[in-house]
Amino acid sequence: MADLTPDRREAVQESWGLVRKDIRKHALNFYIFFFTRHPEYQKLFKDFKDVPANKLPEQPKFRGHAVRVFFALTSLVDNLDDLDIVVDILQKTVNDHVPRGLDSSHYENLLSSILAFLSETLKETFNDATRDGWEVMFKVIMSVVNAQLN
């Protein structure tokens, strides 16, 4: 597996810094993007499972979940230089979602959607080096997720 080098960490952190400037907007837009790609996942959320995409931002529970996920991602990105913290955060996240029936495919689809969203949102700023950093980070995340689920 590729290493999360300082250059890769920096590329991830710099690109996420652009998202952080308006994290709520990006979080809401991401989840609309995600549910468009995977409408079956919206059905997992009882509070907004049948809400049309254009009405989701009006739902407090939707906004809350989207922002919490993006702040969790911020915690991961901010701690890429201390993978013990990253592992701890991920283990808790996975354990919290086990009762909801999530498996590794849910995480893989979420991460691939984040990659696509960042590419679409950040445009030319999301260059090959940045994509490489995110892909390596996602490999690290998936190794922790899979270990925790097994």
Q: Give a yes or no: residue 68 inside a domain.
A: yes
Indicate the SS3 state at residue 5. coil
Burial class (CB in 10 A: 0-12, 13-18, 19+), 29: middle
Q: Give a yes or no: residue 50 inside a domain.
A: yes
- State the CATH number of the domain containing residue 128: 1.10.490.10
Domain that holds residue 143: 6-149
Query: What is the pTM (predicted TM-score) of this model?
Result: 0.92
Q: Give a yes or no: residue 17 inside a domain.
A: yes
pLDDT of residue 101: 87
pLDDT of residue 2: 58
Q: Give a yes or no: residue 118 inside a domain.
A: yes
Tens of each residue's pLDDT in the chain, 150 residues: 459 999 999 999 999 999 999 999 999 999 999 999 999 999 999 999 999 999 999 999 999 999 999 999 999 999 999 999 999 999 999 999 988 889 999 999 999 999 999 999 999 999 999 999 999 999 999 999 999 999
Q: Give a yes or no: residue 1 inside a domain.
A: no
Is there a contact between 94 and 145 (Cβ–Cβ < 8 Å)?
yes
Q: Give a yes or no: residue 117 inside a domain.
A: yes
Domain count for the chain, please give it. 1
Q: What is the DSSP letter of 126?
A: S
